[in-house]
Every structure is written in C-alpha cells, then in structure tokens.
Amino acid sequence: MGKNKVKTSDIHILNLAKLIFGPQAILYKKEDLLAYDCDGFTIERHLPRAVVFPTNTEEVSKIVKYCAENHLPFLARGAGTGLSGGAIPLNNEIIISLVRMKRLLEVDLENRFAVVEPGFVNLKLTNSISDKGYYYAPDPSSQYACTIGGNVAENAGGAHCLKYGVTTNHILGLEVVLPNGDIIEIGRNGIPDSPGYDLLGLLTGSEGTLGIVTKITVRILKNPEAKQTVLAYFDNIEDGSQAVSDIISSGIVPAALEMMDKTAIEGVEAAAFPVGHPKDIEAVLLIEVDGIAAGIDDQIELILAVCRRRNVREVKVARDEAERGRWWANRKTGFGAMGAISPDYLVQDGVIPRSKLPEVLARIHKISEESGLRIANIFHAGDGNLHPLVLFDSRIPGETEKAIQAGSACLKVCADVGGSITGEHGVGIEKKEEMRFVFNEEEIKAQTDIRNVFNPDCLLNAGKLFPTPGRCAEVKRELASKS
C-alpha cells in the first residue's frame, strides 16, 4: 500500500514506511529532519530519528504498535508552535506528525458540536462555521497555525478564555491511540458528563504523555449578539493594574482583558501591526465585552468610569470592526513582535492572583535590572496569566543562560505569591524542574504514577512534564550559569 521511495539501511524506517499510505509520508534524511529539531521553544534542539505523516487513526495505531513492540521512543506533533518544548525529540524519537489528519468531520449546529481531526488548525474551525453564526471559543494568539490536537495536549488558552474558559471547557469527546497502539473513545458527543473517571479532563493538558489524540469533539458557541472593545492608556503600571482589579470587582466579566507594558508596546509598534500606541505610556489595556446587545453600553460606561477613576491618560472605544481587528492583530502578534526589538526572546507563562499584579510586576522589573536583560510583559491580565518575555541575544556568550535564569526567577515569584508556573503553555522540557516550585515529591509521584499506568515503558514523549529525579530547579539554574 505504501508508495514511499525509502533508501536507508535503517530497518525500522523501512518497516514504518510500509505502514503509512502515500508518498512523502516519512522523512528520515538529516536535511529534512532539521526542521523538526525544536518547536516554539528554540533554546534546546534535538534531531528525531524520523518523522511519519499518517492520514488516519488506523495508521497512527499501527505506527504506535510498531514503536511499542520494538521499543522505539515516539511522540506526537501538531504545528510545532508549543512554547515549552513539548514536541522536541529529546530521545531521538520517531515523530508522529498529525498535520495530514486535518479534516473537519462533522458540524452539528443543533447540538452545538463539531468533530475534527487533530491536525485541524484552530482558526479554521471558527472560519468554517462563522457564516452560520457560530464560533469555537479557545483562541490562542497562535490560532492561525496551531492545531486543535496540540491545543488539547496543552489545554491551550487565549485572550477570550477569561469569560469562556480554556480548551478543557470545550472538549466533549476524544478518540485516543494509547501508547500500546490500542484505540479508545472517551466522552460522548454533546453529553455533559460520562460515568466513571473523568478521562477527558485527564487527557486534556497531559502534554502528549498519555496517548495520541486522533479525533476531537468540541463544543461550538453561538456568536454573541454584540461586542465592544476599549483601549486604555495609563501613565503608570499600578493604575493600569488597579483598573484591571476594579473592572472585575465591579461585577463585569469581560470577554477579554489584556495588558501590555512599555517594553511590549515598543515591540508591537516596531513590528508589522502598529496601531499608534503612544511610546511614553507605561501600560495599555485592551478590554472587550460581549453578549446580548441590551446592557453592553452600560458595561462600557462602567469600564470607562473605572479607567477614569484610575487616572487613565486616554481611553477609546473601537469605532468599527476594522479598528477592533487592528487592535487585536497588534496584541495577538505581540510575541513575534519582540523580534523587532531583540534578536531572541524567551516567553514565560506564570499565573498569579490578580490582586498581586502590581507587586509581581515590580519584582519582575527587579529581575530585569539584576540580570541586565529587558523583560517585556504581555498578558491576560483579567485571569492573572502573565507572559514575561525575556529579551536576549544568543550570540553573546552566557546570555542565553542568563535569560533562562531570569525566566525561572519570574516563575519563582509567581509561585511564591500563591500562583503557578504555567497558565497555558505547558511544562514541556522548559519548566519541568520548576514543577518543584509548586509540587512536593509526593504530589509529583502521584502524577508520574498516573503517567506510568498509561505509558508504562515511557516510550511516549519521555523526559517531559516532570522533573528529573534528584535534580532541582536551583541545580538547573546553576548548571545553566556554568555552561
């Protein structure tokens, strides 16, 4: 059945090629594999043994069975936009790329669900149903590229998750290939609860360590009747942070409540989607409310009043959809925009109680001063999900290690104030030692015990998510500083 012209002495690659249909279904030459040596976490790179491109669940199952029987490490990959190194082949894995499994299988408007293959790109789902008045709520800023399979693995969030919840709140069913090749289905279309353990909850956010997702049933929502978007400029970060707290405590639940600091503003204004933010302000808030039309104007009035009370320099409401779109493009391309002001950047992803925003931002500022590296902040302020972006130049000896240390120090601050080390980007390779900031040995063991039930030989995505036994985050930082 395979038509792959494979010329190699590696018997496993020859055998795997026979399991997959179609030409270009396997890559194994070094020059082809280079594109798969990292994901969005570009600091660490490892070559895979091969990359296979199955087109259906049965092929995934056959590949996984072959790997299990031959003790070959393997992992799943979607679009490779992950920011914590989850798709990096640490152990010379066979990468199972899901990008050829990209069909929209079913849309059921009456029962409000859709079924997609894992390689289906997030934004394509909303684009496919928007003319019928529906959308898919989780909207990571990478939604034009990332896959829904990758979103499930990372339990991805996005700007509008403040009101609508993250990926796990929108997943109704999964088909999964287990690490031994067996195929299981969990959850039922449109049925809110299933008897037995909540395997949907367990699989969502398991970072590709428990199984490979091959089909996903997601909840779809009716478009809100109305939405309005506000931009507010503040001369100091405390006022901006206080406005965030005041808006939430006024009882409004905005659809989105985003913040960028001065360094971030410098980046987005120097990049592809500038909107004319004043360069001398310390913070900008992007606030969106949506819902039934009646009442939206009152919510906007309340938000404007809160901003004025907190000494806003300027506040404006988007005049039309085009202006709203420009503001969002400016915000959503914020990470990449850092490339306009720095050769390299490291994205961090901590969560804190909202009330700690001013204190934590001040401590991040101190980390920046002490490390000598600029740190920009772009974040989902409404739910306390910070993204400190550590700017560095990997060409300068020692600077990458400094950036890693500064990023880890930011996460320690988040953990110390009662927060956590990741809000949406996952642990992957990047933050696995920092898991010790929030879990003790017993708590980590409870989690690895669960992984071992699904993935007993640890052939699937080994070396991710959990700290290396016997090593701690401080040791990692010491090693980084010595290397």
Ligand X SMILES: Cc1cc2nc3c(=O)[nH]c(=O)nc-3n(C[C@H](O)[C@H](O)[C@H](O)COP(=O)(O)OP(=O)(O)OC[C@H]3O[C@@H](n4cnc5c(N)ncnc54)[C@H](O)[C@@H]3O)c2cc1C
- Asked whether position 20 contacts ligand X by CB under 6 A, the answer is no
Tell whether residue 55 is a contact of ligand X (CB under 6 A): no
Provide the minimum distance between the beta carbon of 149 and ligand X in the complex, in angstroms, as a whole number: 3
Cα–Cα distance measured from residue 375 to residue 341, given in angstroms and rounded to the nearest whole number = 11
Name the phi and psi angles at 307, rounded to 5: -60, -40
Among the listed ranges 83-91, 251-259, 389-397, 405-413, the one in contact with ligand X (CB under 6 A) is 83-91
- What SS3 state is found at 87? coil
Determine if 331 is a binding residue for ligand X (CB under 6 A).
no
**b/e per residue, 8-46, with b = 16+ CB within 10 A?**
eeeebbeebbebbbeeebbbbeeeebeebebbbbebeeb
Residue with tokens 């895979």: 48
The CA distance from 59 to 319, in Å, is 51
204-212, 263-271, 338-346, 408-416 -> range binding ligand X (CB under 6 A): 204-212
Which parts of 58-77 interact with ligand X (CB under 6 A)?
Answer: 75-77
Q: Total binding residues for ligand X by CB under 6 A?
A: 37
Three-state secondary structure call for residue 247: helix
Kindly state whether residue 344 participates in binding ligand X, applying the rule CB under 6 A.
Answer: no
466 - beta bridge partners?
none
Q: Where are the beta strands (DSSP E) in 225-369?
A: 226-234, 256-261, 283-291, 314-317, 344-347, 350-351
Binding test (CB under 6 A) with ligand X, winner from 61, 142, 168, 241? 142
Q: What are phi and psi of 302, to 5 degrees?
A: -65, -45
The Cα–Cα gap between 389 and 113 comes to 36
Q: Which stretch binds ligand X (CB under 6 A): 49-57, 135-143, 237-245, 436-444?
A: 135-143
Residue 212: count other Cβ atoms within 10 Å of its Cβ: 29
Measuring CA to CA, how many Å separate 107 from each of 189, 190, 466?
Answer: 11, 12, 37
> Please, which residue, 212 or 259, has the CB nearer to ligand X?
212
Considering only residues 406 through 435, tell me which ones interact with ligand X, judged by CB under 6 A.
424-425
- Give the interface segment with ligand X, choosing from 105-113, 148-156, 225-233, 390-398 (CB under 6 A): 148-156
**241: contact with ligand X by CB under 6 A:** no
Stretch that binds ligand X, among 14-22, 144-152, 192-200, 262-270 (CB under 6 A): 144-152
DSSP tag of 404: H
Q: Are 262 and 335 in contact (CB under 8 A)?
A: no
Radius of gyration of the chain (CA): 23
Q: Smaller CB distance to ligand X: residue 75 or 390?
A: 75
Helix (H) or strand (E) holding 51: strand 50-52
Beta bridge partners of 224: none
Kindly indicate which of the ranges 108-116, 140-148, 299-307, 355-363 contains the residues binding ligand X, using the contact rule CB under 6 A. Answer: 140-148
Minimum CB distance to ligand X, residue 393 (Å): 20
Candidate list 38, 52, 64, 79; residue touching ligand X; CB under 6 A: 79
461 touching ligand X, by CB under 6 A: yes
463 binding ligand X? (CB under 6 A): no
Q: Which of 208, 254, 419, 463 binds ligand X (CB under 6 A)?
A: 208
Is 40 a binding residue for ligand X by CB under 6 A? The answer is yes
Of positions 57, 126, 128, 147, contacts ligand X by CB under 6 A: 147
Residue 267 binding ligand X, by CB under 6 A: no
Candidates 158, 205, 240, 467; binder of ligand X (CB under 6 A) is: 158
C-beta of 63 vs 281, nearer to ligand X: 63
Q: Which residues fall within 8 angstroms of residue 49, CB to CB, at 6 or more apart?
A: 10, 12, 13, 28, 72, 89, 92, 93, 94
* Diameter of the chain measured on Cα atoms: 72
Q: State which of residues 64, 98, 116, 375 lies at the interface with ligand X (CB under 6 A).
A: 98
The Cα 327–Cα 332 span in angstroms is 9
244 sits near ligand X (criterion: CB under 6 A): no
- Cβ proximity of 320 and 380 under 8 Å: no
Residue 114's DSSP bridge partners are 107, 218
Task: Name which position in 48, 73, 82, 267 contacts ligand X (CB under 6 A).
Answer: 82
Dihedral pair phi/psi, residue 399, rounded to 5°: -75, -35
Cβ-Cβ contacts under 8 Å for 276 (sequence gap 6 or more):
269
Q: How far is the CB of 382 from ligand X (least distance, A)?
A: 13
If one asks whether residue 212 binds ligand X (CB under 6 A), the answer comes out as: yes
Nearer to ligand X, 141 or 371 (CB): 141
Nearer to ligand X (CB atom), residue 25 or residue 153: 153
Q: Is 78 in the site for ligand X (CB under 6 A)?
A: yes
How far apart CA 209 and CA 389 sit, in angstroms, is 27
Binding site for ligand X (CB under 6 A): 39-40, 75-83, 86-87, 98, 118, 140-142, 146-147, 149-151, 153-154, 156-158, 207-208, 212-213, 335-336, 424-425, 461
